[in-house]
Structure 1
Amino acid sequence: MKIFWIGLFLSLFSYNSYSQDYNKYTLSGKVLSETGDALDGAYIKINEQYYWTSSDGDYSAKLTEGDYQLQVSIIGYQSVDTLVHLTENSVLNFELERAVNGLDEVLLEGHQHKKTSQNVLYVDNEYLEDQFNGSLAASLEKLPGFNAMQIGSGASKPIIRGLGLNRVAIAENGVKQEGQQWGADHGLEIDALQVENLEVIKGVGSIAYGSDALGGVVRINNNTIPKEGISGSLYSFTKSVNNSLGSSVKLAYRKNDWFAKAKVTGLTYADYKLPAKQISYLNFDIPIFDEQLKNTAGKELDWYGQFGVIKDNFTSTISVSNVYQKSGFFPGSHGIPDISRVQPDGDARNIEEPFQRVTHFKVISNSDFDFENGKLDVDLSYQKNHRQEWSLFHTHYAGQEPPEINPNLELDFDLSTYGAKATYHHNFNKEHETQVGVDFQWKDNTIEGYNFLLPEYQSANYAMFAIHEFQPSSENLWTLGMRFDYGTIDMKGFYDPNLYEFLIGNNQSEETANSYAQRSRDLDRDFSSFNIRLGWDHEFDKHWSSKINLGTAFRLPTAIELGANGIHHGSFRHEQGDPDLDPEKGFMADISLNYAQNSWKINLSPYAYFFSNYIFLKPSGTFSLLPHSGQLYSYTESEALLTGFEFSIDKQIARWHIGLAGEYLYNQQLTSNSSRNFPLPFTPANNLFTEVGYQLFNSSEIFDNSEISINNRLVMEQERIAQGEEITPGYGLWGLGFRSDLKFNKFQAKVNLRVDNLFNKKYFNHTSFYRRLQIPEMGRNIQLSIKIPFGQS
């Protein structure tokens, strides 16, 4: 707690070099529709300050003398962007025209987005900073239909509509992120604080992004062009639940037709606090000393650099980034729990074995060539994802000697990925636009370590795709997409002579011993898949609109699903792949119904997926002959159904702001034996998030854009569980928040104070990495963040 208050003190006395005149003037006016109706809840962005209109369409802001950029927007209407020179009290009215590009699905800031038939949520950097919760996926959990698979306090991965792991694609600047997405203990190596803009595409995104986009796409855009001159910001935060301290610095410089950007984020966190004094696992009662989960500390250092050139008919950027993470595993998560290993060592920030170390290095080149009626986008990329698990050398059978180099390196995966993608956009006329493209990717994965889980492999994917958009009127947009993929994988066999000798010594037959000792076999397979999607975006009137999508989807089986054979400590079991698995195929129907009037924004999105061969880990019903491994889990495939709906409601009433986001999800396997039709694994429970905010200090000269809020997250009991899972009780969590823009003398800052799990409730997250260990989630957390802009606003 001492670290938390030190961080609070230092952040409050940060200083920025902004120069301001203390005298203020009033800028006010009305925002009306083209028919003269008042627009209630329209957003007014004045530089980096935000206001909204009353039920009469009125707005008012107190500002110092100077130049300001105003953006006025509301869903369903065209945005207005203008400059104002303020030297006295002024009145400025706006009349907005209906948007010919239709209704955006979710508008978290006043940006106009290209009309699309897909179900898309738009998020900007300010939202991510306000909601930052240690990782990117965890920072997006308030969005409807979006959940995070938690891995301790510093890492997580996204789940969209109950689909996660290798079924959600992450793309940065058009390039799909590649790593070890298959494991529940593998986080997403993306720095949330470095993201400039983000889109969550719900529903199948396979046409544009191929395999892994079956459940949806998290699309990151870090190619925003900065304004002339120098600009940047300093963002700092501290959290009480794990004594976390972190900062992110951003710098940008633009002169004429070139620019450069640099970003650095560093954070450190200690063992996190639990609202529990002991846990029970495998009939062991394990004490939690000082209500801190031993060895869950970590640290992270990320950097990002970009150089860009802007010409009349050509734009090009080169981005280089690196994410480094080191985090400990609770000692009971690797092997049989030992009470002596969970006793305090006197340093809550110490990271002992077992721990993981991950580095993700990435180079992306984006080039856009503009022609008279078209545009060519060329994306080239290289990624190196290096993940290691370190644990004190141990062997489950005699005869295995520790390696001479790095004897405690248990698993080492080193994945290199090369990618090239070219897309040509052609505008035939105002009604017709076509995209055609090719997408190539090649991977090479090597392994090290004294344990074996996944063999070395090389894989490649070659794809062609086409997307045609037909917009016969401002109310209708039709989209037809097609994609053909051809993939190959070449896996190297691995034979374990020590295991063979162990099994023979335990009276197993030579055939059985050889079967187990051949941990993986040489495999050379190829796959192909053709997919199609049809979408329709229709605007009934200025208040109602809908999006309908029908299509097929696919996912190529991964190396872990084809060739795994070993004890996966991250999942606490022996996992075995099946080299004969086929590509995962599915059919999808998705509907989004939207209503917007004045400050009401309502969305309802029902959907359904049918999979002809959904791939998942299934208990085999037999015990593995590997020592200390328990039941054997095998990757298998089955028909499956997944359906549900999401909804969101947003309303502005004078100074009050009310928001709701909920999700209902139902799925199950479909087999020849209906009594074995279990739900699919890692399925989030049905949930509802509610937040009520109230605007404060409207006439204050120090506090601008201030809001206090209270929120509740209600999660139902998850009793529909897959084989090997446990029922997770429901729970309700309360939180408080306060945010404001501070301005006095030469000081400017955005302050966000938040309290999560206000009543320190003990609860379990069904998709958490530690759920199988009966470890509850983090306790009460007080988080303070401060952002200080500088340079051009």
Structure 2
Amino acid sequence: MVRFINTMVLLAVLVSLPFFLKAQNCNYLVHGIVTDKGNHPMPGVIVRLVNDSTGTATDTSGSFSFTNVCPGSHNISFEFIGYKKIAQVIDVSADRYITITLSTSENELGEVVVNGEKKHELHTVLTDELKGVKLLQTRGSSLGETMKGMTGLNSLQTGPSLSKPVIHGLHSNRVLLINDGVRQNGQQWGSDHAPEIDPFVTNKITVVKGAASVRYGADAVGGVVLLEPDDLPTEKSINGNLYAIAASNGHSSAVSGTLQGAFGKKLEGLSWRVQGTLKQAGNSYTRNYYLANTGMKEGDFSANTAYKWKKFTFNLFYSQYNARMGIFAGAQSSSPLDLLAKIISPTPLSPSYFSYKINRSYQNVTHDLLKANVNYKLANNAKLDLTFGRQEDLREEFDASLPYSTNPDVLEKPQVSFKLITHSLDLIYTSGVKNGFSGSAGLTGNTSGNVFAGIRYLIPNFRDYNGGAFAIERYNYKKFTFEAGARYDYRWLRVYQRNTNTLELFNTTYNYQNLTGTAGASYRYNAHLTFTGNIGTAWRAPSINEMYINGEHFSSATFEVGDSGMKSERSVNTTLSANYTGDKWRITADLYYNKIGNYIYSMPTGRDTVLISGTFPKFQYVQHDVNIKGIDLSFQYDFVKHFTFQSKTTIVLGYNESTNDYLIYMPANRFQNGITYQVHKIWKLNEPYITVENVSVSKQIRVPTATTGALYTTAQGNRGSDFAPPPAGYTLFNVNAGFTTPFLRHLLTVNVGVTNVGNVAYRDYLNHFRYYADDLGSNYVLRLKYSF
């Protein structure tokens, strides 16, 4: 109770801070109209105030407006597909009215997006975006938790500090992460291996839901997550932002800052950005107890520079991710009886206390990414992109028990260590728009080398080479858009092992190749209603752990066994979508059916493995033919002035065709409903809002028959049965409130959020530690963003 009162006092003081500080007069109005050369109003033009990182789109009369603009010089830009971009500097010392005339251009049908606005072009694949206020409300969370509220997405967790995104029931090596144009490559195969990415780097997250191998290559069976930072400034300026975040659960905190600018005169065309993040959290708590050893520490850094010279643009980007994450102490078992006791017990048998200290077991993860890109503009507004990437991923796992040695150097070593180095090179050609046609083609390649070190064997060393070629064409005709594409991929894999009897080294080589394709169409019935359909294929070669893992995996508290005879997965994904956008209604309905041959998954055996280091639930990698189908529904209705009702529904149905039974570890039905109250202004508070949301997750009843009433016993269970039945469904209430206000000549954005307001005790089916403990209790979060 004392902690709750202290937290609320802190929040009240910080939220009230702007009221007691003298602010500059940032109440000027910048507005105007955009027309074409025929003096016709142009709706949908993207208008950005670069210095303030804000944007809008012109209405049906071609008009735009920005309120609460601070005095001084501002960079303002105007963009519209097929027209030349205009950028200029305006001085604001009073209200300003601007008239802009755009002239046509042969620019390619590129993607122009602004916070808070819909895309104006058609697509034939299912997509969703997280940006603006919605992204702000997740700041401080991991990438998996950040994306959890998007339709069609869930989060796979291994305790409170480790999570990864799930798209339509698929995750890990079936979901590609594209970090600023480079395919992220780390040890993503483990369910306890969270993405090595700082979400503060990105200003928009775009999710492609479904088969996307044609454009992004092998492994995109479930989808693609595009992490997109802001464009670097082009006009001479220096600006940035600073985030400060505090949360009650785990007494966590985070600070992140960005500083960027562009040069003028002799250095015109040169721009830069630096960014850094620090995060810390102690032991998390549920409704009734703390989760021992679930703290984390993280320190990240990135830098970016670009230079525009004639038709060339050179871009250099570097980022480093560093994290230490504790593994819940209550998941470690010393014997079969201890494992049974922990599964049966309603509370963990480990101590309940708060501490920032991270003991064994824990993970140390470092990921370095270097990207060098050259863009060259060709004739007829075509362009050529050459991108080189180098990544180095180091993952160290320290078990709860110390190594059996008296050597202090050995005692400090991790039991498991993976070092993965990846080099990639992509050459992409994008054509301009001509007679309604536009498209792209490219060559992609990468090579990775993994070195396993440490005391205990888990996976072998390997080297792989991957190459691909693709072509995609789009045709716009009146209200229709047609898309088609094809791709060829080849993968060479060599695995290095040692004979356990003779200790001689030997290797095994694998070759994989596949053709994939996509075809889709969109029909814009009118300005409000659009229908879209797509069918696409994707494939994935088995990963090294699915083939060769054989041992205890302490971070997930499991014993896992692979199968070197695994074949490639191949999927055919069909999607249908309808989107309606009106004055008060916004509705999106997505249907999908994904048929996957040779689907690889980790199946619980219902048995344990007893070792000197402890007792572990045993999982075996198997391969079956499956299908996954579902529906994503998003509904928004402005039912009364200032009030908006929002609803999201995610339903995933997985079926194992080989066993004629349900597919294990599919997300349960998820329903999110909320009401937002927002006005334009209250005193000096701009766009204040409050949202009350209800999240209801059903009990997962679509599980294999052997799992329905299964409970682990020391007598050992049936093959395919889980170690505990699915947990009960649950309902949570969340609250979010915020506003923007002038502060020290610039803008301060404040957000206060509370998740699990009722402090409900619950367990989620996709949390691998649900066998041992509840999920998180209430969490009060304060987020501040200062833009300057």
2:727: which partner in 1?
728
Matched residue type, 1:270: G
- SS state of the match for residue 664, structure 1? strand
Deviation at 1:355, TM superposition (A): 0.9
1:258: which partner in 2?
270
1:341-352 alignment, distance < 5 Å: 342-343=350-351, 348-352=355-359
Deviation at 1:607, TM superposition (A): 0.4
1:767: which partner in 2?
766
1:507-526 alignment, distance < 5 Å: 522-526=507-511
1:281: which partner in 2?
none
Pair 1:237 & 2:221 matched: no
CA distances 1:16-36 after superposition (whole Å, capped 9, x unpaired) = xx997538466789999x9x9
Range with greater deviation from structure 2 (425-434 or 435-444): 425-434
1:284-303 alignment, distance < 5 Å: 291-303=289-301
2:25: which partner in 1?
22
What is the rounded CA distance, in whole Å, between the counterparts of 2:493 and 2:632 in structure 1?
Answer: 37
1:192 maps to which of 191, 199, 209: 199
What is the rounded CA distance, in whole Å, between the counterparts of 2:703 and 2:676 in structure 1?
Answer: 36
- Pick closer, same or farther for the CA change 1:318–1:745 going to 2, 3 Å: closer
- Pick closer, same or farther for the CA change 1:105–1:206 going to 2, 3 Å: farther
- Pick closer, same or farther for the CA change 1:534–1:329 going to 2, 3 Å: same
Matched residue type, 1:641: N
Pair 1:687 & 2:670 matched: yes
- SS state of the match for residue 207, structure 1? helix
CA distances 1:216-257 after superposition (whole Å, capped 9, x unpaired) = 100112361224210101110000011111100100011120
1:218 maps to which of 221, 225, 239: 225
1:426: which partner in 2?
431
1:663: which partner in 2?
650
Calculate the aligned-residue CA RMSD, in Å. Answer: 4.1
Deviation at 1:112, TM superposition (A): 4.6
Pair 1:356 & 2:354 matched: no
Deviation at 1:626, TM superposition (A): 5.9
Q: Could you tell me whether the CA contact under 8 Å between 2:425 and 2:444 is conserved in 1?
A: yes
1:507: which partner in 2?
none
1:443: which partner in 2?
448
What is the rounded CA distance, in whole Å, between the counterparts of 1:167 and 1:667 in structure 2?
Answer: 15
What is the rounded CA distance, in whole Å, between the counterparts of 1:258 and 1:271 in structure 2?
Answer: 45
1:280: which partner in 2?
none
Sequence identity, in percent? 22
Deviation at 1:14, TM superposition (A): 8.5
- Pick closer, same or farther for the CA change 1:192–1:745 going to 2, 3 Å: closer
Deviation at 1:104, TM superposition (A): 9.6
1:142-541 alignment, distance < 5 Å: 142-222=149-229, 224-226=231-233, 227-255=235-263, 256-276=268-288, 291-336=289-334, 342-343=350-351, 348-373=355-380, 374-393=382-401, 405-407=409-411, 409-427=414-432, 429-471=434-476, 473-495=477-499, 522-541=507-526
Q: Could you tell me whether the CA contact under 8 Å between 2:212 and 2:536 is conserved in 1?
A: no
What is the rounded CA distance, in whole Å, between the counterparts of 1:185 and 1:549 in structure 2?
Answer: 33
Task: Give the number of aligned pairs.
Answer: 739
What is the rounded CA distance, in whole Å, between the counterparts of 2:211 and 2:564 in structure 1?
Answer: 26
- Pick closer, same or farther for the CA change 1:731–1:74 going to 2, 3 Å: farther
1:787 maps to which of 778, 785, 788: 785
1:288: which partner in 2?
none
Range with greater deviation from structure 2 (530-539 or 473-482): 473-482
1:648: which partner in 2?
634
Deviation at 1:553, TM superposition (A): 1.1
Deviation at 1:295, TM superposition (A): 0.7
Matched residue type, 1:314: F
1:537-548 alignment, distance < 5 Å: 537-548=522-533
Give the TM-score, by structure 2 length.
Answer: 0.84
Deviation at 1:709, TM superposition (A): 1.3
1:743: which partner in 2?
742
Deviation at 1:93, TM superposition (A): 11
What is the rounded CA distance, in whole Å, between the counterparts of 1:656 and 1:125 in structure 2?
Answer: 19
Deviation at 1:332, TM superposition (A): 2.4
Give the TM-score, by structure 1 length.
Answer: 0.83
CA distances 1:538-582 after superposition (whole Å, capped 9, x unpaired) = 211112112211121101110001111112234433211111111
Pair 1:119 & 2:104 matched: no
CA distances 1:9-68 after superposition (whole Å, capped 9, x unpaired) = 8966999xx997538466789999x9x99x9x9999875568999999998956566677
Range with greater deviation from structure 2 (65-74 or 219-228): 65-74
- Pick closer, same or farther for the CA change 1:95–1:119 going to 2, 3 Å: farther
Q: Could you tell me whether the CA contact under 8 Å between 1:236 and 1:248 is conserved in 2?
A: yes
Deviation at 1:784, TM superposition (A): 0.3
2:711: which partner in 1?
none
Deviation at 1:259, TM superposition (A): 0.7
- SS state of the match for residue 379, structure 2? coil
Give 5+ residue unaligned stretches, structure 1: 277-290, 498-513
1:593-742 alignment, distance < 5 Å: 593-620=578-605, 632-652=618-638, 653-671=640-658, 673-674=659-660, 677-681=661-665, 683-696=666-679, 698-700=681-683, 702-722=684-704, 723-725=720-722, 726-742=725-741
2:707: which partner in 1?
none
- Pick closer, same or farther for the CA change 1:540–1:106 going to 2, 3 Å: farther
- Pick closer, same or farther for the CA change 1:620–1:269 going to 2, 3 Å: closer
- Pick closer, same or farther for the CA change 1:126–1:422 going to 2, 3 Å: farther
What is the rounded CA distance, in whole Å, between the counterparts of 1:749 and 1:265 in structure 2?
Answer: 19
Q: Could you tell me whether the CA contact under 8 Å between 2:321 and 2:368 is conserved in 1?
A: yes
- Pick closer, same or farther for the CA change 1:58–1:124 going to 2, 3 Å: closer
- Pick closer, same or farther for the CA change 1:84–1:545 going to 2, 3 Å: farther
What is the rounded CA distance, in whole Å, between the counterparts of 2:10 and 2:499 in structure 1?
Answer: 53
Deviation at 1:103, TM superposition (A): 13
- Pick closer, same or farther for the CA change 1:601–1:42 going to 2, 3 Å: farther
Q: Could you tell me whether the CA contact under 8 Å between 1:74 and 1:110 is conserved in 2?
A: no
What is the rounded CA distance, in whole Å, between the counterparts of 2:452 and 2:254 in structure 1?
Answer: 33
Q: Could you tell me whether the CA contact under 8 Å between 2:70 and 2:745 is conserved in 1?
A: no
Matched residue type, 1:659: Q
CA distances 1:626-658 after superposition (whole Å, capped 9, x unpaired) = 665566432121110110110111233421222
- Pick closer, same or farther for the CA change 1:557–1:6 going to 2, 3 Å: farther
- SS state of the match for residue 561, structure 1? helix
Matched residue type, 1:563: Y
- SS state of the match for residue 774, structure 2? coil
- SS state of the match for residue 464, structure 2? strand
